[in-house]
Homo-oligomer: A and B are copies of this chain.
């Protein structure tokens, strides 16, 4: 019976696919995160105080049971078998995250301010990443990133250089007209990062023709800034997928 439970609870127990137990757990974590996010909106908490109290309690009970179940079947996983296997499991990465996600409710009972609790509750989201443990996907993506770390680093350096060059130019050109927005390189960086990432808030824009000329060049360079890492990742993923096919 514990073996059956292990197959349902431990995502790494199955060669492929996800058990319905873990699918439900993922869904519950997503809902719990949504509730935690909504709880920061004071007008909602004031309107439905009992809903959030009940939801917090319910999620604590559910995830506490889930934690106990995972701890119960842990020794069936070869990594946590043998003596001290359960203790090693408790200090494994995902178990610690599971525990951290349970803390806010306990700490609230201990009277800590709700402010940091909200932040801690966010760690629950990381639990969702467990979903990935059961596939090659994480390894494929991570391997692609790692194999092209130098190329990605170079494109990050080029981006940094572009950021500094463009913010320096705009600082030199626009500082006199708009001291608040371009009065120093750190201030001009706010405009520069918004432009190079093609976000373009538009709260700060150059007003002189020569400033707009350099801003236009920066915007075009921003396309390159997006294209380079995208191209590197696309090629790295393509490489990784081909290697994967070759292995089969």
Interface set of A (CB-CB < 8 Å, partner B)? 33, 37-38, 40-42, 118-119, 122, 125-126, 128-129, 131-132, 135-138, 140-141, 148, 150-151, 153-155, 157, 159-161, 164-165, 168, 171-172, 183-187, 189-190, 193-195, 197-203, 205, 209, 212, 216, 219-220, 222-242, 245
Q: How far is the CB of A204 from chain B (nearest CB, A)?
A: 9
Assuming the contacts A200-B202, A201-B205, A219-B194, asked whether A186 and B38 have C-beta atoms less than 8 A apart, the reply is yes
User: Can you offer 8 A-B residue contacts whose CB atoms are under 8 A?
Assistant: A33-B164, A42-B183, A125-B164, A194-B216, A197-B220, A234-B238, A235-B235, A236-B241
In the bound complex, CA of A119 to CA of B233 (Å): 34
Query: With contacts A125-B164, A224-B229, A230-B230 known, what are 19 further pairs, Cβ within 8 A?
Result: A38-B186, A41-B185, A118-B185, A122-B168, A128-B157, A128-B160, A131-B157, A141-B151, A141-B154, A141-B232, A186-B209, A189-B216, A195-B199, A200-B202, A201-B201, A223-B226, A227-B230, A238-B238, A239-B245
As for how many copies of this chain the complex holds, the number is 4
In the bound complex, CA of A201 to CA of B181 (Å): 15
Provide the residues of chain B in CB contact with A118, threshold 8 Å: 168, 185
**A223 touching B229 by the CB < 8 A rule?**
yes
For A156, give the chain B residue with the smallest CB separation.
Answer: B220
- The residue from B37, B161, B237 contacting A232, defined by CB atoms under 8 A apart: B237
**A199 touching B219 by the CB < 8 A rule?**
yes
In the bound complex, CA of A209 to CA of B141 (Å): 34
Q: How far is the CB of A47 from chain B (nearest CB, A)?
A: 13
**A225 touching B226 by the CB < 8 A rule?**
no
**B154 touching A132 by the CB < 8 A rule?**
yes
In the bound complex, CA of A223 to CA of B232 (Å): 13
In the bound complex, CA of A41 to CA of B175 (Å): 11
